[in-house]
Amino acid sequence: MLANTVFEALKWASSFLKDNNRDENVGELYLRHLLKMSRAKLLAEQQHVLTEAEWLEFKQAIEQHVKGIPIQHLIGFEEFYGRPFLVNSDVLIPRPETEELVYYTVEKLSKKQNREPLVAVDIGTGSGAIAISLKLESSARLNMIAVDISDKALDVARENSRRLGAEVNFLQGDLVQPLMQEGVKVDVLLSNPPYIPLRDKETLADVVKDHEPELALFGGEDGYDLYRRFMEELPKVMNDSFLIGFEVGVGQGGTVENLLKEAFPDANVEVVFDINGKDRMVFCEQG
């Protein structure tokens, strides 16, 4: 079959994806990438005729996605906070819910009156999405640091930083260990740590468990291993006045809230719900 037009290509992809229990919108995403069109232009160009080479590339990509390869890996990018971030199998694909962690942090920082630049850190930076977006979006002056245990992830993050023009200092190491080793004190710390319980591994979609790094997905048997480690180490690196923000899995907000209250008894801790009414963020603020 040769789909001559955008309309026919999208119709074929939607049907094929639906039959294979995949998201029907993936066809539109890939075709926009292939034809370098905005969504509005693609929808206005329904009768645009594809070349045979374009159709074959499109068909092959959709077939690869059906076999389990994330569409973001086929495209090479994922959009986060309105910017294209390079992604591959070495980093977690940035999710929309993580944008809210950045949004609320920017809101909180906008209320602070700091004459001196704040030291802000993103732990487990992956693609660099949180660190780079916070640096570019915040009106506060930030000395931005991004930490990851994976050298390969840091390579991706550095390239995203270069492409997007964000000044970020990258450190390789485990959680806050690099900060402790260099004697860095922190004003703002964000993290989207691995929080999926190992017991849930088999319930994950194959596009996730087979193609995204386990290091960035799983947080031990109950999902809280990294949060527990954070509570032991954070008091050693945070300044007297600070803001901590974590992304959490649905239903984990209360537990992480209690862990933070134990670690920082004088701080204000709050669980923040995302646009879908899910407990996806916990903030801890002092001073």
Domain presence at residue 73: no
Do 117 and 215 share a domain, yes or no? yes
Domain presence at residue 63: yes
Structural domains counted in the chain: 2
CA distance 216 to 213: 6
Report yes or no: 210 and 68 within 8 Å, Cβ to Cβ: yes
CA distance 79 to 9: 23
Do 142 and 205 share a domain, yes or no? yes
pLDDT number for residue 154: 97
Do 107 and 153 share a domain, yes or no? yes
> pLDDT (tens digit, 0 to 9) for every residue of the chain, 287 residues total?
566 899 999 999 999 999 999 989 999 999 999 999 999 999 999 999 999 999 999 999 999 999 988 999 999 999 999 999 999 989 988 988 899 999 999 999 998 877 789 999 999 999 999 999 999 999 889 999 999 999 999 999 999 999 999 999 999 999 999 999 999 999 999 999 877 655 655 665 655 555 455 554 555 667 788 898 999 999 999 999 999 999 998 889 999 999 999 999 999 999 999 999 999 999 999 98
Do 27 and 122 share a domain, yes or no? no
Q: Name the binding residues for substrate.
A: 192-195
Q: Name the binding residues.
A: 124-128, 148, 192-195
**CA torsion 131→136→138→141, rounded to 10°?**
90
pLDDT number for residue 210: 52
Q: Name the binding residues for S-adenosyl-L-methionine.
A: 124-128, 148, 192
CATH number for the domain spanning 208: value is 3.40.50.150
Do 56 and 160 share a domain, yes or no? no
Do 26 and 124 share a domain, yes or no? no
Do 100 and 231 share a domain, yes or no? yes
Do 124 and 39 share a domain, yes or no? no
User: Which residues are CB-contacts of 55 (< 8 A; sequence separation ≥ 6)?
Assistant: 2, 3, 4, 9
Do 29 and 133 share a domain, yes or no? no
Do 35 and 133 share a domain, yes or no? no
Range of the domain at 215: 88-286
Domain presence at residue 77: no
